[in-house]
Structure 1
């Protein structure tokens, strides 16, 4: 409707513009046109009134419809509110009744729990009282037992302690006696070390102990005369195996013990006093003494082929051996000019151990023929053992075949006996003839 109104207005404006343009360019009679225009204006006014009336009616209709909808909505909301209120009241009543029931049940449960707790408390109190009484009785018994055991243990320990103290006092008394004997022995040792003859004897005893500990008695000799025309005898000689088995076929290693303790003591005293001059002088005396003893060994005891082309000078003190061996020039002179090797207790023991291993290797080499003979006998026995194993294998194969036959016959009998019904109240194991077929098969 409004669109139609706007179209009419636009047409009127266009028509007025055309009329104005025509009036400017031509002078015509406008009376018919004015009449038409007047009629058109009247029609326009009627149209406007009609449009306004339609708009007013439309607005009134819309207002009425909105009033109706608001009234219906208000009525619906009122009805919904009433229903919701009613439902809420019902729910509240239901919850109230449920809460009251729950409160009643809770009160009943609380009362029941209190009663049960009272009963449990009474039972627990009674049990605790019984446990306390039992614990008291057991503690009294344990206390009595512990007192008895402690008393017995204390008496036993005190008796043992007094016994140990008595034994220790006896040992202390014996130790004091041993200390007195040791003091006497130290005095004797001092006498030995200050006497040339006894010093030599002590070195010989130590050397003999080493030889007896490591070598067998037949592997060395004592006080051996090297040359028949000479009366000189070496203290010890180690026997090296020769080409034959007789005693004369052995080659001897002469070993002589030397202990120049005076020169060594002077050297130690000078070194302790930090006296360089006295130390050098004592060292020269010690070297001269060692050379002299090596010369004696070379002249008296080294006689090839009866002996080896070298001898061993045994020094019974590790300190003296270290003092001599650290002078490399002296050691080279002894080996080159006098064919003498210096040895101390530790090095001589190692030398004897190496000789012992050599002796064992040589013995094994000599007995290799017997070993081969034993191996041949073992080989023959192994051949016989192989034949015996073959016979046993054949017997086992025969036994296996017999067992296979027995199993086949047993399966055949089981297949035949499957159709046989077992009597009520009896078991197959109780039948006396169950194993008879198997025994007959085995016998066959």
Structure 2
């Protein structure tokens, strides 16, 4: 082989290598684009699901709160009616035994306040427990889905780094080819 044939062969090899690199670069770009689009779709879906679940949880909490408030109002109304009857009865007894009635009335008021406080605490505990459980479940689901998205983004970054490493390995092809030609010429001269 003469020098011109070697140069032609080297040029052909360089062109073939550049074409292969271009094809690889195009394929990587398509893969990255598809992966990015998939991740964006998943993020959008997760966002929609989280918003739907939070809305559902908020609506449910409002409904539960309304029902408990209505129940408490009924209890309070019944209690008020009962209390009003008792007060009327006590007023009748007061005319007869004022001193004894005052002691009884004070005890009744104290017991009533304790019962109301217990009822209020029970309602508050139930509301807080229900809200905490549902928020905990929703945030746990969001955390898992965000972890999945983070993993996908990490894979995209690794793939981008691999492409950068391949570019560095395949750079300076012309300079390396020139050195190879000089070495080949020296070998041919020795022969």
TM-score, L = length of structure 1: 0.21
Instruction: Kindly indicate whether structure 1 or structure 2 has the higher relative contact order, using CA contacts under 8 Å at least 6 residues apart.
Output: 2
- Answer 1 or 2: which has greater helix percent: 2
| TM-score, with length taken from structure 2 | 0.47
Task: Decide which structure has the larger Cα Rg and report it.
Answer: 1
Report which of the two has the higher share of strand. Answer: 1
